[in-house]
């Protein structure tokens, strides 16, 4: 009896020792240099604030009850750089999951090597459609959206607008093509689509495109131009006077990151988004208040969805009792874990994409005459992406 008790005690001590040695390792792949850094900074700030609110500020601090190390990398908005960083994180740092990813082409490139290595991928921005459909996997989850969803919401809005001729514009890469596909899928209006313009990814000179819009006699434009591309377009748009002739409806172009650089050129434009910054949800109020106090400006949705990612990871690890070695179990559990999201309660679809509301927002003048973003109305509630049914049954969770 005494020998059995000693053996049990020794076994318990080993279990405690193993648990204390547990470490969660997270890679965070972001864009912190080049034109994309305007988005990357906001995303990084939201991620770091989320970690802080969960009690983590440096390597070794606990996240969800487990000592955690975060490894950062700058993809420079380049696929080859992202692949190299992914390889280092997987082989050198032995990460359990890689979060971040602004750009769809970058996510598409790093996703396969990560999943092949049985490393989880948590997107805090990019939502390429192949990963929502035929390429879905339980190793992937998003705290943002599928690329098509905000364009689909704008398609619903413009279906009711009194317009005659419409031009669609987006950069020529995965997310741009997704944006146009999503818009046209949802658009049921009577206006003729006069042109579909796919401009160069990273374009900064839009004078020729704006001239084409006028020549097409468009009375409305649907635009997807993220980051610095959007800032350049909007300034040239206003300088040309086209903003006085043609109504602008955009996605991923106008937000609290780009509003400052664009300024009054954004007035009168409409955009769609999954996030209502004025929501009374306690988690949202806490996030916005803390971000404002720390950075002296409003957060954009890039920060909001990255903040949610840190909160989700902590809640999931805590729910699993600190068990992080089984990455597949960890990634599956994320889809079923309730957490305090800035958008309130929402569900995950079988492909790891959020099922969530989308809102119409407008750039207007505030009481002091400065441009601000106002949520106009809810367009659609509990909106599912359009690809989940293409997710193979064996990959659904």
| pLDDT tens figures, 87-136 | 999 999 999 999 999 999 999 999 999 999 999 999 999 999 999 999 99
User: Are 155 and 181 in a shared domain?
Assistant: yes
Note whether 161 and 284 are same-domain residues: no
Query: With bands split at pLDDT 50, 70 and 90, how would you rate the model's confidence at 21?
Result: low
Domain span at 302: 2-145+279-345
Query: Do 263 and 376 fall into the same domain?
Result: yes
182 band by pLDDT with thresholds 50, 70 and 90? very high
Per-residue pLDDT of 160-181, as tens digits, reads 999 999 999 999 999 999 999 9
Residue 391 maps to a domain:
no
Give the number of residues written for the chain: 397
- Domain total of the chain: 2
Distance (Å, whole) CA 83 – CA 234 = 32
* The pLDDT value given to residue 14: 38
- The answer to the question of residue 161 being in a domain is yes
User: Bigger pLDDT: 149 or 3?
Assistant: 149
Does pLDDT of 74 surpass 90? Answer: yes
Do the domain assignments include residue 116?
Answer: yes
Kindly state whether residue 390 falls inside one of the protein's structural domains. no
pLDDT given at position 10:
41
Q: Are residues 81 and 200 in the same domain?
A: no
Do 376 and 239 lie in a common domain? yes
The average pLDDT across 81-86 equals 98
Is residue 181 in some structural domain? yes
Instruction: Write b or e for each residue in 241-268: b if 16 or more Cβ atoms lie within 10 A of its Cβ, otherwise e.
Output: ebbeebbbbbbbbbbbbbbeebbebbeb
Assess whether pLDDT exceeds 60 at residue 13: no
Shared-domain flag, residues 218 and 362: yes
Residue 173 lies in a domain: yes
pLDDT in tens, 330-389: 999 999 999 999 999 999 999 999 999 999 999 999 999 999 999 999 999 999 999 999
Angle at 28 between CA 23 and CA 34, to 5 degrees: 160
189 confidence band (pLDDT: 50, 70, 90):
very high
Are residues 94 and 37 both part of a single domain?
Answer: yes
Same domain, residue pair 141 and 154: no
Residue-wise pLDDT for 38-72, tens only, equals 999 999 999 999 999 999 999 999 999 999 999 99
> Bridge-partner residues for 18, per DSSP?
none
pLDDT at 259: 95
pLDDT at position 22: 85
Q: What gap in Å lies between CA 173 and CA 28, rounded to an integer?
A: 23
Cα–Cα nearest to 391, from 134, 149, 146: 134
Asked whether the whole model's pTM tops 0.85, one would answer yes
Q: Which of 318, 345, 372 is the last residue of a domain?
A: 345
Which one of 345, 370, 392 terminates a domain? 345
Nearest to 352 by CA among 310, 303, 379, 387: 387
Residue 389 falls inside a structural domain: no
Asked if residue 295 and residue 255 are part of one domain, the reply reads no
What are the tens digits of pLDDT across the range 199-250?
Answer: 999 999 999 999 988 998 999 999 999 999 999 999 999 999 999 999 999 9
Do 50 and 67 belong together in one domain?
yes
Average pLDDT value for the chain: 93
- Domain-located, residue 51: yes
Q: How many CB atoms lie within 10 A of CB 165?
A: 16
The domain that holds 77 is classified in CATH as 3.40.50.2300
User: What is the per-residue pLDDT for 171?
Assistant: 96
Residues 42 and 156 in one domain: no
One domain for residues 19 and 154 = no
């Amino acid at each position: 009896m005494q020998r059995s008790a000693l053996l049990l005690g020794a076994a318990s001590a080993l279990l405690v020792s193993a648990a204390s040695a547990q470490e969660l390792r997270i890679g965070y792949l972001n864009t912190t240099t080049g034109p994309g850094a305007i988005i990357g900074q906001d995303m990084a700030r939201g991620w770091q604030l989320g970690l802080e609110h969960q009690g983590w500020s440096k390597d070794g601090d606990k996240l969800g009850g487990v000592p955690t190390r975060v490894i950062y990398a700058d993809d420079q908005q380049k696929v080859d750089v992202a692949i190299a960083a992914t390889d280092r994180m997987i082989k050198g740092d032995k990460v359990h999951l890689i979060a971040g990813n602004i750009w769809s082409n970058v996510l598409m490139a790093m996703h396969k090597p990560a999943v092949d290595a049985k490393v989880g991928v948590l997107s805090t921005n990019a939502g390429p459609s192949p990963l929502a459909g035929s390429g879905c996997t339980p190793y992937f989850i998003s705290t943002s959206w599928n690329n098509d969803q905000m364009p689909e919401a704008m398609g619903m809005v413009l279906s009711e607008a009194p317009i005659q001729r419409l031009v669609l514009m987006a950069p020529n890469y995965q997310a741009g093509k997704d944006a146009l596909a999503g818009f046209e899928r949802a658009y049921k209006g009577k206006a003729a689509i006069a042109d579909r313009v796919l401009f160069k990814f990273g374009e900064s000179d839009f004078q020729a495109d704006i001239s084409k819009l006028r020549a097409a006699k468009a009375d409305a434009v649907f635009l997807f131009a993220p980051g610095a591309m959007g800032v350049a377009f909007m300034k040239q748009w206003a300088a040309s006077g086209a903003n006085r002739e043609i109504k602008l409806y955009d996605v991923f172009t106008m937000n609290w990151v780009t509003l400052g650089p664009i300024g009054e050129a954004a007035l009168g434009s409409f955009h769609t988004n999954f996030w209502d910054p004025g929501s009374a949800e306690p988690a949202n109020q806490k996030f916005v208040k803390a971000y404002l106090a720390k950075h002296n400006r409003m957060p954009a949705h890039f920060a909001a969805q990255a903040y949610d990612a840190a909160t989700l990871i902590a809640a999931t690890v805590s729910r699993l009792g600190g068990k992080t070695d089984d990455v597949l179990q960890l990634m599956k559990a994320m889809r079923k874990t309730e957490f305090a999201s800035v958008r309130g309660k929402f569900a995950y679809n079988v492909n790891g994409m959020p099922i969530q509301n989308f809102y119409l927002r407008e750039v207007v003048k505030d009481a002091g005459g400065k441009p601000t973003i106002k949520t106009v109305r809810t367009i659609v509630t509990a909106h599912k992406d359009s690809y989940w049914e293409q997710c193979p049954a064996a990959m659904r969770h």
